[in-house]
Amino acid sequence: MGDVKINNLRDWLTEVEKIGELARIKKDVDPVLEMSSLAYLNGRNPGHPTLLFEKPKGFDTGSVLFNPIGGSYNRLALSFREKPGRRPLDLVQQIKNSFKKVSPEYVAEKDAPIFENYLTSDKIDLFKFPIPQHWPRDGGKYIGTGDIVITQDPDSGRYNVGTYRQMAMEKDKVGFFTSPGKGGGLDRVKWWEQGKPLPVVSVYGVDPLLMILGSTGFANHESEFDYAGGFAGSPIKLVKGKVTGIPFPAECEFAVEGYVYPDRTLSEGPFGEFTGYYGKPGDKCPYLQIEAVYHRNNPIFTAAMMADKPGANEQSVFLGAMRSAKIWRDMEAAGVAGIKGVWSPPAGAGGWGMTVVSIKQMFAGHAQQAAMVAAGSAGGGFYSKFYYIVDDDVDPTDLEEVMWAATTRCRCSEDIEIWRNTWSTPLDPSKNPPDDRPYGSKAFIFACKQHKYINSFSKRTAMTKDSYDNAHARWKELGIPGEAAIIGFFDDLKK
Ligand SMILES: Cc1cc2nc3c(=O)[nH]c(=O)nc-3n(C[C@H](O)[C@H](O)[C@H](O)COP(=O)(O)O)c2cc1C
């Protein structure tokens, strides 16, 4: 990856504009509920652009980019510095093959545009900037959604990059909600156990590649900054915060820095979440006490709306694809053979809810091994409720094929397994009463041929490759409208 030269959000917007997928909104729009309503309706249209609100109503500085990726695989490809126009599963496979660590590079303050403005003490007032409220029942304005939050493991020194929602609570305080088991929360506990506050930098206008990696499940000892350099094709440029020393991108748009103290909480949430529900009720939550603000002139805030539909839900397409790539990569690293594809459908709780793994079954227990590793991996362990295992003749991205496989190959009495008390989040609305959260559960649906009888399993009706080629060759001549479909499975009539 790295064919398209992009170093920051502004470069990314230039490339997106070139392919006609950026809509600049030049009239006044209110950050409170108006931007999000427009973004939701926009996201439900096929082929929608990303919306850059250049004149937030009531503010004389800053603009808001709502749902940078939205439902677009082109914008996703550009985020990975790839040319647009890839088929989703090809893009997933390419991402899967491109996990590589390239250490970040630290640059001098004079070479870091984020130092254009530096505010401390009584100059800090988040409410001078356009902060959206997304949904009418949200507990407040959320300055951090399409963000990254950087923390450090005090023992190993590793920097974690997580995308966590951040509510502006007061002019110098933002909420810090992390689901149990997530990197930022685990770091927080370690600092507090050592009797120290957690140092944090949160970035609210960011290169989409970093937001994507911040949302992806990495092993807790790894730093997303290293993989970002690998995907970008060059090291990510960082600077160190003046207060905490925590690093953050030199070319980001807006960043805040400070500490989270063990004995201080404020009310946070609810927030309209990736599930399409408000999730857990509003609650007391630790917060980041801001001691410094950094921003570029006229900063661009990246807002990620959560909703019930792909496109309207910012994470659906990017997380669906990225999670698929990460699970695939984790399965290969764990030694699972014969994987043909992995797909987390964008419609399933923003890409978190369901995963389909397509494998060529090669030995007894292979399908079960694939399921256990996928569901136990760093990329696939969290939330996911349904794992479908299908054979290699089934395209995992085609949910009609997956449903066909489930309804023809799965023996429900034998081929559905349930795991209980699995890694999940208090945001899952299905587990009630809410006190029972965050424990989740998972269903494994083996929608593949019974291995023991794989050789005598009923033959799938399929044409020969010769018939297929002939049909394609004669399609136009016969005057049949449209194009002949592309398929990838044929009967070789051998066995
Ligand atoms: C827009 C957006 C907002 C998110 N907000 C939160 C959040 O508030 N808390 C949380 O734990 N995870 C949140 N997530 C999911 C995490 O980003 C994800 O679980 C990721 O793996 C966290 O990084 P970590 O594994 O380094 O902790 C959000 C994801 C997205 C895309």
pLDDT tens digits, one per residue of 276-322: 999 877 789 999 999 999 999 999 999 999 999 999 999 999 999 99
3-state secondary structure of 119: strand
- What number of H helices and E strands is found in the chain? 12, 21
- pLDDT per residue over 443-480, tens digit each? 999 999 999 999 999 999 999 999 999 999 999 999 99
Q: What number is the average pLDDT over the span 185-212?
A: 98
pTM score, whole prediction? 0.97
Q: How many residues in the chain?
A: 495
CA-wise closest residue to 88 among 351, 468, 330, 275: 351
User: Where on the phi/psi map is residue 247: left (φ > 0), alpha (ψ -120 to 50), or beta?
Assistant: beta
Tell me the two tokens of residue 423: 């890694």
Residues of the chain with pLDDT > 90, as a percent, come to: 96
Tell me the two tokens of residue 64: 């808001």
User: In whole numbers, what is the pLDDT of the chain averaged over residues?
Assistant: 97
Q: How far is the CA of 420 from the centre of ligand 1 (A)?
A: 22
Q: How far apart are CA 292 and CA 272, in angstroms?
A: 28
pLDDT of residue 1: 79
List all residues whose CB is within 6 A of at least one atom of ligand 1: 145-146, 160, 162-165, 177-179, 182-184, 214-218, 304, 314-315, 382
- pLDDT per residue over 321-330, tens digit each? 999 999 999 9
Pick among 2.30.110.10, 3.40.605.10, 3.90.1150.10, 2.60.40.10: CATH of 9-303: 2.30.110.10
Q: What angle do CA 357, 363, 366 make, to 5 degrees?
A: 30
160 within 8 A of 184, measured Cβ to Cβ: yes
305 within 8 A of 134, measured Cβ to Cβ: yes
pLDDT of residue 219: 96
pLDDT of residue 3: 87
Q: 332 pLDDT exceeds 90? A: yes
Neighbours of 448 (CB within 10 A): 27
Q: What number is the average pLDDT over the span 392-415?
A: 97
Contacts of residue 200, defined as CB under 8 A and 6 or more positions apart, other chains included, come to 149, 150, 151, 176, 184, 244, 246, 257, 258, 259, 260, 288
Among 177, 182, 206, residue to substitute to test ligand 1 (most atoms within 8 Å of Cβ): 182
Residues of the chain with pLDDT > 70, as a percent, come to: 100
Q: How far is the CA of 116 from the centre of ligand 1 (A)?
A: 29
Pick among 3.40.640.10, 3.40.1670.10, 3.40.630.10, 3.40.50.300: CATH of 334-453: 3.40.1670.10
Residue with the smallest CA separation from ligand 1 atom 5 is: 164
12 within 8 A of 40, measured Cβ to Cβ: no
Bridge partner residues of 441 (DSSP)? 420
pLDDT of residue 279: 84
- The answer to whether domain 9-303 and domain 334-453 are alike in fold is no
Helices (H), 377-464: 399-409, 412-415
pLDDT of residue 140: 97
Q: How far apart are CA 237 and CA 225, in angstroms?
A: 9
pLDDT of residue 236: 97
Give residue 483's Cα distance to chain centre: 34
Domain residue extents for the chain: 9-303, 334-453
Helices (H), 59-162: 73-79, 88-96
pLDDT of residue 2: 74
Among 79, 147, 153, 165, residue to substitute to test ligand 1 (most atoms within 8 Å of Cβ): 165
